A = this chain, B = another copy of it.
Amino acid sequence: MHLQAVADLPEIRPGDDLAALIADRTTVEDGDVVTIASTVVSKAEGRQADLTDFPAGPRAREIAGRLEDLSGEEKDPRFAQAVLEESTELVTDAPFLLTETRFGHVCVNAGIDRSNVPDHDLLLLPKRPTESAERIRTGLLEASNLDPDDGENVAVIVTDTCGRPFRFGQRGVALGWAGMPASRDWRGETDRDGREMGVTVQSVVDELSSAANLVTGEGDDGTPAVVVRDWAFGDHEGSDNLFRDLDGDFVRHALRDWRYDPEERR
């Protein structure tokens, strides 16, 4: 497996054609997986925003006030309003905003970025990252003269980075994907001793996003896209279930029942 960052992408502006910009700078081949950081997808899709776009309602003012009390730092209720508008659910009563975005991804602040946004206050996540991935994939197939009807394929993953429970640090994750399933399902296959493997669904889009993040880094220095070559999904069952809902996730049940107590943590 080989990963190569796409060099010299310009600063992305609303309306830019990411597929064309990538295809101009690198050759995309049959079987490649192309990862693209959600920041540049958002920029191309005009997801820049300003705090003045989000006049705070009562719930946002209450949330910001509470976060201010807990942290001792000033909190802008318009930011809380933006997070609420991008989310279907506030997942927890934590001392920060962990929400489920409208497309099912659980992350802090609905993934709204306050850096990397020239001339604006905020950068929202792509509205429907899987549709973004599909659009970019169509563009890359065309620009590369590859035809799925001839058995040729390119996959595209829109990536982000986020933290997680139990372990420090952030790692790359997938927000949307096209041209491949999200996971390899190994259930029913056997290990090398011939025993059937248990619950083993391998989240390959997340693993590819993590791998790509090693190459792009966090500095966003002009290499937000990566071409992954010589990797194949292989002959496995696939699944597109990536985001757990409340029912399937005991941690979300626990968080729902939990109330944050700052005294307990001092």
Contact = CB atoms under 8 A, between A and B. Distances in A.
Given A166-B244, A191-B116, A201-B168, A215 B251 contact: no
Given A94-B250, A116-B191, A193-B117, A203 B168 contact: yes
A210 interface: yes
B248 A168 contact: yes
Interface residues of A, number: 79
Interface stretch (A15-23, A47-55, A74-82, A169-177): A169-177
Contacts of A183: 168-169
Interface stretch (A60-68, A132-140, A254-262): A254-262
A51 to B, nearest CB: 16
B211 A214 contact: yes
A251 B202 contact: no
A220 B202 contact: no
Given A1-B214, A170-B203, 20 more contacts: A1-B3, A117-B193, A165-B252, A166-B249, A168-B242, A169-B202, A169-B241, A170-B200, A170-B201, A184-B218, A189-B219, A192-B219, A192-B220, A200-B218, A210-B211, A211-B214, A215-B231, A251-B251, A253-B258, A254-B255
A32 to B, nearest CB: 14
Interface of A: 1-4, 11, 92, 94-95, 105-106, 114-118, 161, 164-173, 182-184, 186, 189-193, 195-198, 200-204, 206-208, 210-211, 213-215, 217-222, 231, 234, 239, 241-244, 247-255, 257-258, 260, 264-265
